Amino acid sequence: MNYNIKNFIIFSSLFIFIIILVIFLRKTTNDSLLDYEISAKVTSIYRDRKEHNFLFVKYSNGSVELLDYPYKIGDSISKKKGDSIEYIFREDSVIQNNLFETARKEKTLK
């Protein structure tokens, strides 16, 4: 096979693979934002030395995750599966965190 034709086939295959990968990752990001449900209270926020000093949040239901929104201790978090809005109950106010808008600002979703 000619060298130019071989390179064309390789680059075309790579280009198609990248397009499929981008579509798959976008769908995965959308699904991950919609697929979980939480109803818990923030019990602590701490830095984990084992995880490069990233901030983590611990909920009253025992789950721990990377802090991706500026929660405060005592916040109650509520999100239903399939909904893109997370409700944060802080003192006498309700804060609506639209997960799609937050992901777009962080450039993890277009």
pLDDT for 45 equals 94
- How many other CB atoms are found less than 10 A from the CB of residue 67? 15
Query: Beta-strand (E) ranges in the chain?
Result: 38-48, 54-59, 64-66, 76-79, 85-90, 93-98
**Range from 9-13, 63-67, 101-105 carrying the lowest mean pLDDT:** 101-105
Mean pLDDT of 82-92: 90
pLDDT for 36 equals 78
Q: How far is CA 86 from CA 54, 92, 94, in A?
A: 22, 17, 10
User: Contact, 79 vs 69, CB < 8 A?
Assistant: no
Give dist(CA 105, CA 1) in Å, integer.
47
Q: Reply yes or no on whether the pLDDT at 104 is more than 80.
A: no
pLDDT for 23 equals 76
Judge if pTM exceeds 0.85: no
pLDDT in tens, 1-57: 677 888 888 999 999 999 888 877 766 766 677 887 889 999 999 998 888 889 999
